[in-house]
Amino acid sequence: MSRFNEHIRIVDTTLRDGSHAVKHQFTPEDVKAIASALDEAGVYGIEISHGDGLAGSSIQYGWALYSDEERLSAAKEVVKKSKIAVLLLPGIGTRKDLQRSIERGAKIARIATHVTEADISEQHIKMSKDMGLEVMTFLMLSHMESPSKVLEQAKLMESYGADVVYVVDSAGAMLPDDVRARVSILKEHLTVEVGFHAHENLGLAIGNTLAAIKEGATVIDGTLCSLGAGAGNAATEVLVAVLEKLGYETGVDLYKIMSTAEDIMRPRMSRPQIIDRASLALGYAGVYSSFLLHTYKAAERFKVDPLDILMELGKRRVVGGQEDMIIDVAYELTHTRTETSTA
Catalogue the active-site residues: 20
229 and 53 Cβ atoms separated by less than 8 Å: no
Instruction: Tell me the C-alpha distance between 158 and 152, whole Å.
Output: 10
Instruction: Tell me the C-alpha distance between 203 and 223, whole Å.
Output: 15
Instruction: Tell me the C-alpha distance between 218 and 192, whole Å.
Output: 10
Cα of 209 vs its chain's centroid, Å: 13
Instruction: Tell me the C-alpha distance between 185 and 20, whole Å.
Output: 31
Does residue 229 come out as left (phi exceeding 0), alpha (psi in the -120 to 50 range) or beta? beta
Residue type, 261: A
The DSSP code for 249 is B
Tally: H helices and E strands in the chain: 14, 8
Cα 202–Cα 109–Cα 208 angle in degrees, nearest 5: 20
Give the residue from 101, 99, 96 showing the smallest Cα distance to 83: 101
DSSP H/E element including 77? helix 68-78
For 239, other C-beta atoms within 10 Å of its C-beta total 28
